[in-house]
Amino acid sequence: MKSSRIRIVLVAPSHPGNIGAAARAMKNMALDELVLVNPKQFPDPEATARASGADDVLSAARVVPNLAQALTGCGFVAATTSRDRDQYFRIMDVRDAAVRVVDESRRGPAAVVFGAERTGLTNEELESAHALIRIPASTVYPSLNLGMAVQLVTYELFRARAAPQPTAVAVPPDAPLAAPEEMERLYAHLAQVLEDIDFRDRTQSGTHLMARIRRFLQRAELDHNEVSILRGILTAVQSRRRPAGGGPR
């Protein structure tokens, strides 16, 4: 099975052994793109020992300072979680999510994001995801070791990639999803326009509006052209609010 365009991202892994175990799991399942966001210890002899034959995956791993850089150029992004989240996130079973990630990787790079061993992913880190992955486990003890979680998800990805493909039909392919960096520019533009028109969060804390907007736009799964349309509308709104001559209001 040839290499895919599926990126495995580990955010702030604290134990080098888990990085090695993730690399081994990836090689077992024919994946080779590993990105580490602020690992506590890497490179490290324990990571190499736990990789156990997946040294090529480990040596090719990229280390980046933040999740935004880890996801640069990706389209579909899925993030793993073991905790209950609010209803505004789309939750997918790991098997269904694997099929979706594989399908999206045929249009452009896709990513699966795993959080730190003790804390998982923050709500802010989850905002870049189009869907959250839940791995079924005992309600008494649902928390999985990071290496185990990567193994289970990559196994499902392997199964999904090996499944027979439907007969091709003569229709143009869907446009790739907008990359995370495009979405971030859209959100910054939208936040500026909301400020310009004095459309403010009316909730008691005054902090939920943009989070809610981000989540429903992530669920909408916009492509590049759709982002451009929305930003064009926002620019038109800003232009109409400028006084004649372009001077300050």
Query: Is the CB of residue 77 less than 8 Å from the CB of residue 49?
Result: no
Contacts of 37 (CB under 8 A, 6+ apart): 9, 10, 11, 12, 63, 64, 65, 66, 67, 69, 70
Give the integer Cα–Cα distance in Å for 91 and 78.
Answer: 10
Helix (H), strand (E) counts: the chain: 10, 7
pLDDT tens for 110-124 read 999 999 998 899 988
Q: What percent of the chain has pLDDT over 90?
A: 69
pLDDT tens series, the chain, 249 aa: 445 799 999 999 999 999 999 999 999 999 999 999 999 999 999 999 999 999 999 999 999 999 999 999 999 999 998 766 555 788 999 999 999 999 999 989 999 999 999 889 998 899 999 999 989 888 888 888 999 999 999 999 999 999 887 654 444 456 789 999 999 999 999 999 999 998 888 766 666 888 889 989 999 999 999 999 999 999 999 998 766 555 444
Which residue matches tokens 């134990």?
A: 15
- Which domains, ranges and CATH numbers included, belong to the chain? 6-162 (3.40.1280.10), 180-246 (1.10.8.590)
* Rounded CA separation 127/45 (Å): 34
Q: How many other C-beta atoms are found inside a 10 Å radius of the C-beta of residue 191?
A: 14
Q: Which two tokens stand for residue 129?
A: 């995801």
User: Would you state the structure tokens that stand for residue 233, as one six-digit string?
Assistant: 């509308």
Q: Which H or E element spans position 181?
A: helix 180-196
CA distances from 221 to 23, 157, 211, 248 (A): 29, 21, 16, 36
